[in-house]
Amino acid sequence: MFVLTSIFFYLTLFLIVYIYIIYPLIIYIFPGKIKTKNINHYFPQLTVIIPAYNEEQNIETKVENILSIDYPQELIEVIVGSDNSIDRTNKILTNYNSPRLNYCLFSTKVGKNALINELIGQAKGEIVVVSDADVTINKDALRLLARHFHNPKVGAVCGKRGNRDAGSGRGFLGGALYNIYESFLKRGEGRLLSVIGGDGALYAFRKKLFSTLDLTAPDDLLTILRILAKGYGVVYEPEAVAYEKVSTSIKEDFLRKIRTVARGITGISLFKGLLNPFHHPLTCFQIVSHKILRWLTLLLLCLLLILNLLLIKGTVYSFLLWPQIVFYVLAMLGGIFYLLNLRSNLFYLPFYFLAINLAATLGIVEFLRGRAKASW
């Protein structure tokens, strides 16, 4: 029994180390399969799609941002879809008189994915760029995205999510570090084979590869998985940045993570073939490593602690238990500091890490309960 428990303990420990250390190293060590050249004078016809719902505070800034972008203006078509917005979004859009701006005002709320399905049906560009209404992009972002499509093997390109303003709220540090870590992984995955899942803030793809989106999973994930299933690569362009107002609320991040994981599992379940290691070895490896195992982090941490307590009589296991105890004590103090509205990064980061992984676990539960659904 002791030997079997020890085996499970070290296997669990290995998986945790693998998720956060070994996998990131692997995707940077191995040579990449997708080679892209810095072609700075390749300008395909683009259609920029902006899904919007009650975005009166952002839509004018967004439209002005896109219309002033550094890209041949005759090659850009902009379509804004307003999903039955009940604020001033529609009025702001109808006040524009630009030949490059089209808008579609839905009279009933259909959800983001259904809205995107409709707008892509109207798109004239060979390359479609999807960008959320609450972000702004840097002036050369479209040019940086478009150049990668010079390679016929590239089916999609994902931009980077950045922080519009470095606020000092309690949620800022955790959210900012999470974005940095995700960017690090995407950069490595993009050179290895493909980014696994895009970012709704900014991503582009070949229109001919698009198929109608299911309504229960994220549009960016579904689009990328479908392109991978068709044998195309997806690259990451870190210099094409979509700037958003960073979250300063753990609660906001927590609820978003639940939704993201529940809908992410739904998306992967629609493309189960990509988990076949014989047909899609690298894609399967990346999905399991980046998505599935990370979603299981909290369960692995709990299992590790339980197994460690069962093995406490061994000297080595006593030594390995102490770092876990210290980590959980710091996280507990971080929770107390958070409730008391006090600041301490030393305590806050362990607390944020556990909170976000708890949200991922609850996201799994939501999926199993069949409660993953389309939302804004």
Q: Is residue 16 part of a domain?
A: yes
Please check the confidence at residue 252 and state whether its pLDDT lies above 70. yes
**Element housing 301 (H / E):** helix 297-310
Q: Is residue 266 part of a domain?
A: no
Q: Is pLDDT larger for residue 127 or for residue 249? A: 127
Please check the confidence at residue 212 and state whether its pLDDT lies above 90. yes
Instruction: State the CATH number of the domain containing residue 52.
Output: 3.90.550.10
Residues 16 and 60 in one domain: no
Q: Is residue 89 part of a domain?
A: yes
Residues 132 and 158 in one domain: yes
Structural domain containing residue 238: 46-248
Stretch 250-267: mean pLDDT: 92
Where is the domain boundary, 248, 277, 306?
Answer: 248
Q: Is residue 343 part of a domain?
A: yes
Q: Is pLDDT larger for residue 240 or for residue 179? A: 240
**Structural domain total, the chain:** 2
Q: Is residue 278 part of a domain?
A: no
Stretch 220-225: mean pLDDT: 94
User: 159 Cβ partners below 8 Å, 6+ apart?
Assistant: 137, 141, 145, 199, 201, 202, 203, 204, 237, 240, 241, 242
Residues 226 and 122 in one domain: yes
Residues 4 and 57 in one domain: no
User: 91 Cβ partners below 8 Å, 6+ apart?
Assistant: none
Q: Let me know: does 170 contact 251? Beta carbons within 8 Å.
A: no
Residue 98: band (very low, low, confident or very high) from pLDDT cuts 50, 70, 90: confident
Where is the domain boundary, 248, 272, 301?
Answer: 248
Q: Let me know: does 108 contact 83? Beta carbons within 8 Å.
A: no
Residues 233 and 301 in one domain: no
Where is the domain boundary, 248, 278, 306?
Answer: 248
Residues 112 and 225 in one domain: yes
Q: Is residue 356 part of a domain?
A: yes
Integer Cα distance of 200 and 72 in angstroms: 24
Residues 123 and 212 in one domain: yes
Stretch 143-162: mean pLDDT: 93
Residue 359: band (very low, low, confident or very high) from pLDDT cuts 50, 70, 90: very high
Residues 210 and 110 in one domain: yes
pLDDT at 360: 97
pLDDT at 344: 72
pLDDT at 31: 67
Residues 192 and 308 in one domain: no
Residues 65 and 104 in one domain: yes
Q: Is residue 87 part of a domain?
A: yes
| Highest mean pLDDT out of 103-117, 190-204, 234-248 | 103-117
Residues 59 and 90 in one domain: yes
Residues 195 and 305 in one domain: no
Q: Is residue 36 part of a domain?
A: no
Stretch 135-140: mean pLDDT: 96
